[in-house]
């Protein structure tokens, strides 16, 4: 990981090749930039005017300092409405800053910011952005493209008297490690990352952090009666794996169950997807990746809260053994489900994981799943849909997500739509009609939850991205890992 330090000295005398200054829209007369401009005899203002740099989010401007100050190159990074959107935009801008620093060939860089508030939360966000901005999935690149960047160290310039700076950076390191682990799993091709391999990764992380791992195969899941999960797994030559990580500190006051959808490849099954629809379906285990990584981090941070991560991992494949349309499957809690679309597999795997999770008698149960294309139609590619049976828990989780800078929007669970899940020959069927598809998926899960406070987050959109954005590179984003970890930290005090 990038060597990250907090500096309180003068950023203009520091021995680094590049100094990045993050500023908001119209912030060019902030003290830090004014001082810089004076030392550089008006160069900052001239360059900004020439290049029309205003400080909009995502805008950057780089120029040589010609020996006037220690850093040879100065990079201005726009952070938009930083005074209002402080931490969120600072995280994005710090990501852009390290990306640009790495591209410039710098080995050491420093980052300063103005107008974002000088608190530990701002430092933490900047640290996360810097660490995550250097993430690359380069395992399969060869030749020149396989070369790592030379950037090995970054100094973050925090206000001199900042309290809790070291703890803030330590939290950022833990968050970034969790997010990077989740991204690694999401980015792995499905041909490599089978259910068994997710289980092996989870187990090796868990062992290092003092968590317990239990992995169940087909036979053990059958013995537990997980007919929905195994129905989905039936068509695949790959062995399914039900992963259960637990972190049980002796001083825990609350017990939380986290469930992640772990479909390592979603072809749609016999309700086969198109080429276009299947292209990104190696990412259909992003929920599992997020809950496993966040739970391991909770253990590494020794949080005083009991956490269980569950992931029913399988492929969804067409074959002579696949589950069929019209089949009736039996859930772990004894209910029957008629299958009218084998591509609505996620809710089936989640339903049995929910039943398993409820037997652990949690205070709260949260699930994360790349569940529906309909959620992306509703909220676009960057915002997750959150559904819940408990306003307090929903509010608490949304607040944690807000500090993580992960956008989530609450959607309703309208009882009228549940009518669509009725079946003639079974207790229910697995899909409703087209409109409101994210909600009927949520309503299906709700059937299995009962009275336990529950949150369901549909992360189909934000779990991967095709456009670089600050600390988020192309590919898996690790979405939700940071929100979950923050939620667990808040429940630990
Ligand atoms: N994994 C998909 C949802 C998805 C779609 C995630 C696009 C990310 C991007 C899920 O299993 C699925 O296929 N859902 C169906 C549900 C439908 C059959 C009711 C969908 O959204 O079309
Ligand atoms: Mn599907
Ligand atoms: Zn799926």
> What is the Cα 145 distance to its own chain's centre?
26
In a domain, 459, yes or no: yes
How much is the pLDDT for 377?
A: 98
- pLDDT tens digit string along 17-28? 999 999 988 888
CATH of residue 391's domain is 3.40.630.10
In a domain, 235, yes or no: yes
Ligand 1 lined by 460 (C-beta under 6 Å): yes
Ligand 1 lined by 343 (C-beta under 6 Å): yes
Q: Based on the fold, state whether residues 94 and 187 are members of the same structural domain.
A: no
Counted domains in the chain: 2
Q: Based on the fold, state whether residues 212 and 76 are members of the same structural domain.
A: no
In a domain, 169, yes or no: no
How much is the pLDDT for 223?
A: 98
C-alpha of residue 454 to centroid of ligand 2, in Å: 23
How much is the pLDDT for 116?
A: 61
In a domain, 167, yes or no: no
Ligand 1 lined by 388 (C-beta under 6 Å): no
C-alpha of residue 460 to centroid of ligand 1, in Å: 8
Ligand 1 lined by 298 (C-beta under 6 Å): no
Residue nearest to atom 16 of ligand 1 (CA): 344
Q: Let me know: does 196 contact 46? Beta carbons within 8 Å.
A: no
Ligand 1 lined by 431 (C-beta under 6 Å): yes
Catalytic residue among 72, 173, 273, 335: 273
In a domain, 448, yes or no: yes
- Among the listed residues 284, 293, 230, the one whose alpha carbon sits nearest the alpha carbon of residue 258: 293
Structural domain of 182 = 175-490
Domain boundary among 124, 158, 192: 158
Pick the ligand that lies closest to the CA of residue 431.
Answer: 1
Q: Based on the fold, state whether residues 338 and 366 are members of the same structural domain.
A: yes
Question: Ligand 1, from 264, 278, 314, 343: best to mutate by most atoms within 8 Å of Cβ?
Answer: 343
Q: Based on the fold, state whether residues 310 and 403 are members of the same structural domain.
A: yes
In a domain, 356, yes or no: yes
Low-confidence ranges of the chain (pLDDT < 50): none
Q: Based on the fold, state whether residues 241 and 327 are members of the same structural domain.
A: yes
Q: Based on the fold, state whether residues 206 and 77 are members of the same structural domain.
A: no
113 phi and psi angles, rounded to 5 deg: -145, 150
CATH of residue 70's domain is 3.40.220.10
How much is the pLDDT for 118?
A: 67
Question: Ligand 1, from 371, 385, 417: best to mutate by most atoms within 8 Å of Cβ?
Answer: 371
Q: Based on the fold, state whether residues 199 and 308 are members of the same structural domain.
A: yes
Ligand 1 lined by 373 (C-beta under 6 Å): yes
Residue 231 CA to residue 77 CA, distance in Å, equals 51
**Quick one: which atom of ligand 1 is closest to the CA of 284?**
1
Q: Based on the fold, state whether residues 150 and 292 are members of the same structural domain.
A: no
Domain boundary among 158, 191, 215: 158
C-alpha of residue 372 to centroid of ligand 2, in Å: 8
C-alpha of residue 371 to centroid of ligand 2, in Å: 7
Q: Based on the fold, state whether residues 414 and 330 are members of the same structural domain.
A: yes
C-alpha of residue 127 to centroid of ligand 3, in Å: 33
Question: Ligand 1, from 276, 314, 373, 440: best to mutate by most atoms within 8 Å of Cβ?
Answer: 373
Q: Based on the fold, state whether residues 340 and 406 are members of the same structural domain.
A: yes
**34 catalytic per annotation:** no
**273 catalytic per annotation:** yes
C-alpha of residue 67 to centroid of ligand 3, in Å: 56
Ligand 1 lined by 341 (C-beta under 6 Å): yes
Q: Based on the fold, state whether residues 153 and 179 are members of the same structural domain.
A: no
- pLDDT tens digit string along 219-243? 999 999 999 999 999 999 999 999 9
C-alpha of residue 314 to centroid of ligand 3, in Å: 10
Task: Round to the nearest angstrom and report the end-to-end CA distance of the chain.
Answer: 28
**Quick one: which atom of ligand 1 is closest to the CA of 268?**
13
Ligand 1 lined by 374 (C-beta under 6 Å): yes
Domain boundary among 131, 158, 185: 158
Distances (CA, A) of 296 to 181, 186, 326, 392: 10, 17, 40, 26
Residue nearest to atom 8 of ligand 1 (CA): 460
In a domain, 310, yes or no: yes
How much is the pLDDT for 256?
A: 98
pTM of the model: 0.97
Catalytic residue among 282, 347, 429, 489: 347
How much is the pLDDT for 117?
A: 67
In a domain, 170, yes or no: no
Q: Based on the fold, state whether residues 108 and 33 are members of the same structural domain.
A: yes
């Amino acid at each position: 990981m990038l060597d990250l330090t907090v500096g309180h000295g003068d950023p203009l005398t520091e021995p680094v090749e590049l100094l990045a200054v993050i500023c908001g829209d119209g912030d060019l007369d902030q003290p830090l930039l004014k001082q810089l401009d004076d030392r550089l005899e008006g160069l900052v203002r001239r360059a900004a005017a020439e290049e029309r740099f205003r400080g909009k989010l995502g805008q950057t401007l780089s120029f040589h300092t010609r020996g006037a100050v220690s850093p040879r190159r100065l990079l201005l990074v726009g952070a938009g409405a930083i005074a209002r959107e402080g931490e969120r935009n600072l995280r994005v801008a710090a990501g852009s800053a390290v990306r640009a620093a790495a591209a410039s060939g710098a080995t050491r860089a420093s980052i300063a910011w103005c107008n974002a508030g000088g608190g530990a939360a701002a430092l933490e966000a900047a640290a996360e952005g810097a660490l995550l901005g250097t993430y690359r999935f380069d395992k399969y690149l060869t030749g020149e493209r396989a070369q790592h960047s030379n950037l090995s160290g970054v100094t973050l310039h925090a206000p001199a008297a900042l309290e809790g700076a070291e703890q803030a950076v330590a939290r950022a390191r833990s968050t970034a490690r969790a997010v990077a682990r989740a991204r690694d799993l999401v980015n792995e091709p499905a041909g490599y990352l089978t259910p068994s391999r997710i289980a092996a990764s989870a187990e090796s992380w868990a062992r290092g952090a003092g968590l317990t791992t239990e992995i169940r195969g087909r036979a053990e899941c059958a013995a537990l009666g997980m007919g929905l999960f195994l129905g989905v797994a039936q068509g695949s030559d790959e062995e399914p794996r039900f992963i259960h990580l637990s972190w049980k500190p002796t001083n825990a006051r609350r017990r939380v169950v986290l469930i992640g959808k772990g479909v390592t490849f979603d072809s749609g099954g016999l309700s086969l997807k198109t080429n276009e629809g299947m292209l990104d379906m190696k990412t259909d285990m992003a929920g599992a990746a997020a809950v496993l990584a966040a739970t391991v981090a909770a253990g590494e941070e020794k949080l005083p809260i009991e956490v269980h991560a569950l992931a029913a991992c399988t492929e969804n494949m067409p074959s002579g053994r696949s589950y069929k349309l019209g089949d009736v499957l039996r859930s772990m809690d004894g209910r029957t489900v008629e299958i009218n679309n084998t591509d609505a597999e996620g809710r089936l795997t989640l339903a049995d994981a929910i039943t398993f999770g409820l037997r652990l008698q949690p205070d709260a149960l949260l699930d994360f799943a790349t569940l529906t294309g309909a959620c992306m139609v509703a909220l676009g590619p960057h915002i997750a849909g959150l559904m819940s049976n408990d306003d307090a828990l929903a509010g608490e989780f949304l607040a944690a997500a807000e500090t993580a800078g992960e956008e989530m929007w609450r959607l309703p669970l309208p009882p009228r739509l549940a009518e669509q899940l009725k079946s003639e020959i079974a207790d229910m069927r697995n899909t409703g009609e087209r409109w409101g598809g994210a909600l009927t998926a949520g309503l299906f899960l709700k059937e299995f939850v009962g009275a336990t406070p529950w949150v369901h987050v549909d992360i189909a959109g934000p779990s991967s991205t095709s456009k670089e954005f600050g600390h988020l590179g192309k590919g898996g984003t690790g979405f939700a890992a940071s929100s979950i970890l923050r939620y667990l930290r808040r429940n630990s005090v």
